[in-house]
Amino acid sequence: MSAELSEFDVPPPTGAGEPSSAPTRRTFIATSTAVGGAVVAGGVIGGTILADAQEVSAAEGPPSSRVSLTVNGARRTVTVDNRTSLLDLLREHFGLTGSKKGCNAGACGACTVLVDGQRHNACLTLAVRLEGAEVTTIEGLADGGELHPLQQAFIDQDAFQCGYCTPGQIVSGVGCIQEGHTGSPEEIREWMSGNICRCGCYVKIVRAVEQTAGRK
């Protein structure tokens, strides 16, 4: 019987008894495996270096700035992420949770505060842009134990139900009165239209603003 040779055992043809310079199949496979391994190893090493660089960059953290501002009469200085909103600064850093986070998109007015006497949606205002500014929140309206006249008017007129929007409504109402937009109920509604009350207390809110403005 003659044993069959596999293709790996069959020697390549040679000419004139001289060894061939062409690589054998076995040599080709071995060489390819070695080269492939080197490429993979290089990729792993390169990927590791890249990953390390990304981790170092992440560890450095986002850019931050130091900002000083006056909140409800008190000077405050803090270092914050440049992306921090005034609302998050008030709630998360200063513990002033009266200003509510409703839509967080400037559509509901629950976060309304006064910045240098003007109404602002705190959720849309970057804290780092308020260097030297004076901010008044719902917590800063009362004078010690005495409520602000508009706070008292909200109680007198029963101008709230769930109360979630009330801080923003009151601060916005104070701004509306200071701006002189209380000539009529229609004018009050127009200039208070950025503050949404999901309980529908608009009629009583207008009455509270009128009472404080001295029209009723």
Render pLDDT for 155-168 as a digit per residue (tens, 0 to 9).
999 999 999 999 99
- Quote the tokens at residue 179: 């701006």
Burial class (CB in 10 A: 0-12, 13-18, 19+), 77: exposed
pLDDT for res 60: 73
Residue 14's pLDDT band (cuts 50, 70, 90): low
Are 139 and 72 in contact by the 8 Å Cβ rule? The answer is yes
More reliable by pLDDT, 114 or 43: 114
The Cα angle at residue 119 between residues 113 and 89, in degrees rounded to 5: 35
pLDDT at 32 over 70: no
pLDDT for res 54: 59
Report the percent of the chain where pLDDT is more than 90: 70
pLDDT for res 192: 98
Least confident piece of the model among 2-16, 98-112, 178-192: 2-16
Residue 207's pLDDT band (cuts 50, 70, 90): very high
- Reported residue count of the chain is 216
**What are the tens digits of pLDDT across the range 60-117?**
788 999 999 999 999 999 999 999 999 999 999 999 999 999 999 999 999 999 999 9
CB atoms inside a 10 Å sphere around CB 182: 21
**What are the tens digits of pLDDT across the range 128-156?**
999 999 999 999 999 999 999 999 999 99
Sheet holding 74-81, edge to edge: 74-81, 64-71, 134-136, 112-115, 118-121
pLDDT at 16 over 80: no
Burial class (CB in 10 A: 0-12, 13-18, 19+), 143: exposed
For the chain, give the mean pLDDT.
85
pLDDT for res 40: 47
Q: What is the pTM of this model?
A: 0.73
